[in-house]
Structure 1
């Protein structure tokens, strides 16, 4: 099976895996314990915090270790709501946010907050003017993802940050799809909180980071919690954090070279569709290793299953959403609806992706794109898998 779903998850880096085992077997103390073994764990934990802060170019006091991107998004948003700069209950976010943000917003609406959801323009970006137009006297928070996880467009976070500062509004950004794939130091400097997830850049699953700018006067959600200064409860996963830190360092140090390599692979892939303009749509991406596309008149789930049958692992969107049999939120955000929205598929490259593999996938998808429209025979092949689509 050739893997083309790195945007969903990546394999654990071998050196990071070895470090995880070493830390878990030799430095196994609880970082809150006061004995020498606990102190060893604390020292390693704080060293990791310092190293991550260097990668972000921020103060180490703002780095908090979590279980992943979803928890980091929740904690970051809650922290900012506890530290709002003025009175109000209005929040601005995007239509196409990851479910870990979108569902938090739906929860907040039930708590009495009012949320404005902004669409994308035709290029997959939120217009700064749209944020400004949505801004009100009672707006207290803006949450906009840095990179769309389905088509790879980057949002104008720095410009939105300037607007937020002007209006005393705090800013959160989901950077889960960004870190290790594009530079984010300028984004870290612009926001009040951001989130990343270890398994997106070859770290272990169950690890993540919430960065909360030290100037933000947030309050703990649970009084009396000792770990991570009260931002979250639970024993800190020191082995996972160390492995994630090593993976993060490797991802950042090799970023330029990897981006160049992935750009070449992207060209190899897209060249297969040069003469299929009326049968394929490939959306513009600022992440070279992520490609969102549609094969016209071919349902995305059917294309995914056909690829799987031929030994290619692709996806129909973010892994937290694909089981819902609903159109991609990104497609809705750029105005693609109905049958066309369900044609969406996502291809993502990673370290183990070769030019030969990319050529094979591009060739196969180009063949599929030229086949007749999906018919009942295709549905019968997969039975109830496509039911409801």
Structure 2
């Protein structure tokens, strides 16, 4: 089986696995314990926090480890809102990750007014859209950095600068971009990131909230992670997460260039079939090159995915967090496609181990699926 679903999750790297095993043997104590064994865990935790903070150009005191990206999203947004209280307007997008989309829908039932911005024809949220929506009642803006289904990248630095001037809090879901492109939190109040998207273990992620920002915990009295989240901290997983983050950040530009070359190869290979297999973001200027969203003219994406699986290719029909839902992708609908077209969507996502030979094999399988379906 050849894997093309890296945007959903990645295999753990050998280095992260080795560090996890070492930390599990040596840093097994509770990091809150005051004895020497607990101190080993505490020092490992502190070192890992510094690694993450350095990568995003933040302060280590702003890093809070969570059980993953989804929890980081929810805890961060709610903690920030707890620190404001008197404002009830939130600005977000129509194509945020399902963890935030469902959370914001829930907040509406609790008296919040939520504005859901739709991306423009290039698939991005513009600064002008934010400027036209911000009011004196705006408590928080939450705009994803990179979209997991169509790969578009939003201008979070420009948005952050404007919101800083307006003194409106800004959160960004950076789960898909962390480790893929540079992230600088100097103009962003809070971000969410995840380990299993960058060859680290599952079940671990992090929130970053600038130490200058006031927030209130969801559960008062919580002691772990400076009150941000209850529960014993998983130090071995965090050490492996920091290792994976350090490794991928060193290879970031090299991997980016590799993904661009692989993407171009697949586009060229499928060019004779461009009327049947179209890459949605082929000509969009601001996209992650490792996420390739295709529409198969007249063929449902689920059929393509199952046929590809039969031929030994693992691809997807979108975010794994929405699999099982009958509704078509919100991201595809948000950029102007109708429901029938959205159901013809398939996502191919590339990883550090993807080769040109694998891309060629994938291209042949996709062409074979199209030709056999027409027959």
Fold shared per TM-score above 0.5: yes
Aligned residues: 371
- The CA distance in 2 between the partners of 1:206 and 1:322, in whole Å, is 19
- The CA distance in 1 between the partners of 2:194 and 2:209, in whole Å, is 15
- 2:250 aligns with 253
- 1:72 aligns with 72
SS at match of 1:173: strand
* Residue 24 of structure 1 pairs with residue 24 of structure 2: yes
Q: Unaligned 5+ residue runs, structure 1?
A: 375-389
- 1:232 aligns with 229
- The CA distance in 2 between the partners of 1:338 and 1:51, in whole Å, is 43
- 2:12 aligns with 12
Contact 2:138 2:168 in 1 (8 A): yes
SS at match of 2:319: coil
Scaled by the length of structure 2, the TM-score of the pair is 0.96
* Residue 314 of structure 1 pairs with residue 311 of structure 2: no
- 1:385 aligns with none
- The CA distance in 1 between the partners of 2:370 and 2:213, in whole Å, is 51
- 2:260 aligns with 263
SS at match of 2:273: coil
- 1:383 aligns with none
Contact 1:270 1:362 in 2 (8 A): no
Please give the residue correspondences for 1:1-389 in structure 2 after superposition, counting only pairs within 5 Å. Answer: 1-84=1-84, 87-185=86-184, 188-284=185-281, 286-372=287-373
Question: Deviation of residue 148 (structure 1)?
Answer: 0.5
- The CA distance in 2 between the partners of 1:369 and 1:125, in whole Å, is 30
Question: Deviation of residue 373 (structure 1)?
Answer: 5.7
RMSD (Å), alpha carbons: 1.4
- The CA distance in 1 between the partners of 2:269 and 2:364, in whole Å, is 6
- The CA distance in 1 between the partners of 2:349 and 2:18, in whole Å, is 26
Scaled by the length of structure 1, the TM-score of the pair is 0.93
Contact 1:297 1:373 in 2 (8 A): no
Contact 1:99 1:321 in 2 (8 A): yes
SS at match of 2:119: coil
Contact 1:227 1:236 in 2 (8 A): yes
- The CA distance in 1 between the partners of 2:142 and 2:249, in whole Å, is 25
Contact 1:272 1:366 in 2 (8 A): no
Question: Deviation of residue 328 (structure 1)?
Answer: 0.6
Question: Deviation of residue 277 (structure 1)?
Answer: 3.0
Question: Deviation of residue 121 (structure 1)?
Answer: 1.1
- The CA distance in 2 between the partners of 1:370 and 1:75, in whole Å, is 48
SS at match of 1:324: coil
